[in-house]
Amino acid sequence: MAPQTWARYLRRGNNGPVTDPRPPSDDLRPDPVSMRSGARPHTEFGHDDLDADAELVVIRTADHKHWDGLLMRPRDDTLPQAGTLVIVVHGSLGNYMGGVPRRLAFELAHHGYAALSINTRMANFGVVYGGGLFDNTPDDLAGAMDLAREIGFERVVLMGYSLGASIVTNYQALRRPPEVVGLCTLAHPWSLPESMRARWTRLRAQPSYTEVTRMALRAGVDRDGGDDVVVVHRGAGPTDSPYDAEAWSLRCWWQCRGPESRNPVSVDRIRDIGVPLALIQAGSDSVLPGGDGENLAEAARAAGLPVHLEYVPGADHTFWGMVPEVADRAAAWIASLPEGRRATVPPRGAATGNVRLVTVRGPDGSLHDGIFERHAAPTDARIQETGRRTAVVHLHGNQGNLSVGALRFLRGPIAGLGVPILTMDTRIGNVSQLFGTAVLEDVLEDVRAATAWLAGEGYDHVLVSGYSLGATAALYCAAHDLGLPIVGAVGLGTAWSLPESSRARMDRCGASPSYEELVEICRPYADADPEDDISLVIHRMYLADDSPHAAGVYTARTWWHSRGPESEAAKAYLHVGRVPAPVLLVQGSDDVIVAPIDADRLADRARADGHADVEVRMLDGVGHDFGDHDATFGALRDWLLRVA
């Protein structure tokens, strides 16, 4: 995100105007990748949510999936609307903390409603790697409803944005839980398949809608056959840049956008929802340029349902800068719903105050969400014992974020030792790898921004930790000046060298293109601007099978800067010996992504470079996911107590 000069303006809070040292919502948009990652104006944790309580929750489904959620509640439980919960569902490639749903959760809480923004199996990369099956999303909404009942909410409104509008409509039509009193949708397509067909035709996408249909049928996805990953150029915009590409698993595409899919055709599902409907459409929507709102409203009226349809003038499909106005309109409609009796406001859980959601601002204006966990009593005791205030910055793995690929189970135990920990997003997380901005060297500035934030919180020493790709980034950053004295570095599942590890694994799995072929393909794009980049699908990059989850989806530029033979930041052996503090390398003996021997090789290299304090902890029977949580924390505990 480009640096910006912030003015002052006023926003509305529960207690009247609040001075805000930033501009109104007509400021410049960030780059397209930040937009795809969910950037929206003024959605910073610790700032825009000051008049709400935020809680991270987990949704459990009948088919044994676990999805993240963000519960925002107004601080004032005496408000009559505080007993109504709005469940908010993300759009395409979205998630519970990004974009329209995240800001809606803030704003609905400002209006006095509780809001639960949830992930589904179609969040993040679900539709790319094969798990994001639309027909199974009712289980995700059912899990959210189970959580609502567990908390104690008896009155629920379902709200979905774009793809999420189709998800909530399908769920309500199928399940019709008694707690749901209304359905509010934003930028709702009347039919996801027809919306995509029209957009791809208009943009002259390659392959075309017809060609992808043929690919899917050849793969046998209509008969529960095979699957593949396909990149569609100009699927989302008019250029050949990765910014405007789409990536899909054919099976996920078939269920959600294919010509025979029925569940995502909302105009047919609307008639069965059985509750009042609000349609809030964008007035200048280039993604849905047809009469989607009118078609949906007509179908609802034909079924005898109360319908409210309105357009937000000047709003595009992302509701850029206009989510507060959308929330105003949604809140007004929810307030108009008939209420037989006042909904009971559920009591709040036992709040410990240990966890804060924060947003770290980089010097270039980039924003990085984080989860900061601090346990007061052990932290205060440790400060008294050591005479210093040490905190951990922990980095996620490949295509991860603050709660995905971050070994988040470590947060609580580490903080319980008296060492606060900040798990944060970086610019190589979320969708950046797919769309061209994930450059490993740039993470150094993200970590420096994190240490500056910690310094502002009163911490005077830092420990840098990371998992998988994040472990490589952690060692690279720890070898540089971070702005605070460093007391240690931890790598969990650290490759000797990402380029060499990738080459060996790809050779072993029979990757296509091969490593050598990719070097020739990607080298010309090493220093290219992201908009001049190209998209790549690498089959059998991670595992020796042809399923989407074994593939890698990159751009030439992002592959080169993390896996290419000249990516110096990705070669941990060059940096481990230069870390001016103790180093701990934790490795699983059954890791099939990183060779278990790499930990010992790195330790030997560090010692050869003059670093005397490097330890290796090998965990027997543990794979790359470090699924044995107790053993993983046990490998860290005594070392952390020694160095932190």
Range of the domain at 507: 503-555
Say if pTM beats, i.e. exceeds, 0.75: yes
- Give the up-direction half-sphere exposure of residue 44: CA atoms within 13 A in the CB hemisphere: 15
Tens of pLDDT, residue by residue over 123-181, are 988 999 999 999 999 999 999 999 999 999 999 999 999 999 999 999 999 999 999 99
315 and 453 co-located in one domain: no
Domain boundary among 284, 306, 336: 336
Residue 273 sits in the same domain as residue 215: no
Residue 330 has pLDDT above 80, yes or no: yes
In a domain, 241, yes or no: yes
Are 58 and 88 within one domain? Answer: yes
Residue 302 belongs to a domain: yes
How does 424-447 read in b/e, with b if 16+ C-beta sit within 10 Å? bbbbbbbbbbbbbbbbbbbbbbbb
Q: What is the pLDDT of residues 3-48, one digit of tens each?
A: 222 222 233 333 333 334 443 444 577 777 777 778 888 889 988 8
- Residues 252 and 288 reside in one and the same domain: no
Confidence at residue 20, expressed as pLDDT on a 0 to 100 scale: 41
Averaged over 434-439, what is the pLDDT? Answer: 86
Does position 55 have pLDDT exceeding 60, yes or no?
A: yes
Is there a domain that residue 297 lies in? yes
Say if residue 433 is in the same domain as residue 314: no
pLDDT per position as a tens digit, 348-397: 876 567 999 999 999 888 889 999 999 999 999 999 999 999 999 999 99
Instruction: Say yes or no: 41 and 153 in one domain.
Output: yes
pLDDT at position 10? 30
Q: Is 3 part of any domain?
A: no
Predicted confidence at residue 339, as pLDDT, reads 82
Report the candidate in 118, 180, 176, 184 with the shortest Cα–Cα distance to residue 155.
Answer: 180
Q: What is the CATH number of the domain that holds 633?
A: 3.40.50.1820
Residues 635 and 487 in one domain: yes
137 contacts: CB under 8 Å, gap ≥ 6 = 120, 121, 122, 167, 170, 171
Domain assignment present for residue 563? The answer is no
- Tell whether 427 and 485 lie within a shared domain: yes
Same domain, 115 and 50: yes
- Verify that 447 and 465 share a domain, yes or no: yes
What's the structural domain count of the chain? 4
User: 257, 278, 295 — which closes off a domain?
Assistant: 257
Task: Examine residue 120 and state whether it is found in any structural domain, yes or no.
Answer: yes
On whether both 490 and 511 belong to a single domain, the answer is: no
Confirm whether 312 is domain-assigned: yes
Is 426 within the bounds of a domain? yes
- Note the pLDDT of residue 443: 95
Task: Examine the domain organization and report whether 270 and 186 are in the same domain.
Answer: yes
Percent of the chain with pLDDT over 70: 95
- Which pLDDT tens digit goes with each residue over 452-492? 999 999 999 999 999 999 999 999 999 999 999 999 999 99
DSSP string, 388-446: S-EEEEEE--TT-BTTBSS-GGGHHHHHHTT--EEEE--TTSTTHHHHT---GGGHHHH
Cα–Cα distance list, 14 to 11, 103, 271, 428 (Å): 10, 16, 37, 37
